């Protein structure tokens, strides 16, 4: 069985990458996520501004990773990979948002709070 022994380093996607791009992508992501961490730890901003700033920093980190790590751009060769990333981001935001909402309201939705009249008439374990 004769197989093709092509050089994997000759693949166009492998040739797009470079050590400089990976280092620049790593440094930019660390700086942007570090800035988001500092903003989160300081608690200086109103809630709406805080969410917008941290979301903007996360978006810039995502763009940095997409452009520098994965080489995504709007060229015809990369268009479908870019479109799939753009369509995945809203799903990610919805998933994270629903998870935050679920855990924030979990106690209210699952714990049965006894009413004051029912609690007064039923004996407790201590009685």
Dist CA 69 CA 35 (whole Å): 20
pTM: 0.59
The fraction of the chain above a pLDDT of 90, given in percent, is: 17
**pLDDT tens-digit readout, 60-71:** 998 888 888 877
Pair 78, 72: CB distance under 8 Å: yes
Which is more confidently placed, 52 or 86?
A: 52
73/37 Cα distance (integer angstroms):
28
Confidence of residue 1 (pLDDT cuts 50, 70, 90): very low
Position 102 scores a pLDDT of 84
Instruction: Tell me the C-alpha distance between 89 and 85, whole Å.
Output: 6
């Amino acid at each position: 069985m004769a197989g093709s022994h092509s050089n994997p380093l000759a693949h166009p996607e492998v040739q797009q990458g470079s050590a400089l791009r990976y280092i620049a992508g790593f440094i930019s992501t660390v700086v942007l996520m570090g800035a988001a961490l500092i903003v989160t730890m300081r608690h200086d901003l109103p809630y709406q501004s805080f969410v917008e700033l941290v979301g903007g920093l996360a978006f810039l980190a995502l763009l940095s990773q997409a452009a520098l790590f994965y080489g995504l751009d709007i060229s015809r060769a990369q268009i479908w990979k870019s479109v799939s990333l753009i369509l995945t981001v809203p799903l990610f935001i919805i998933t994270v948002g629903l998870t935050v909402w679920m855990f924030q309201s979990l106690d209210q939705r699952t714990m049965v709070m006894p009413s004051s009249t029912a609690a007064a008439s039923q004996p407790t374990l201590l009685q």
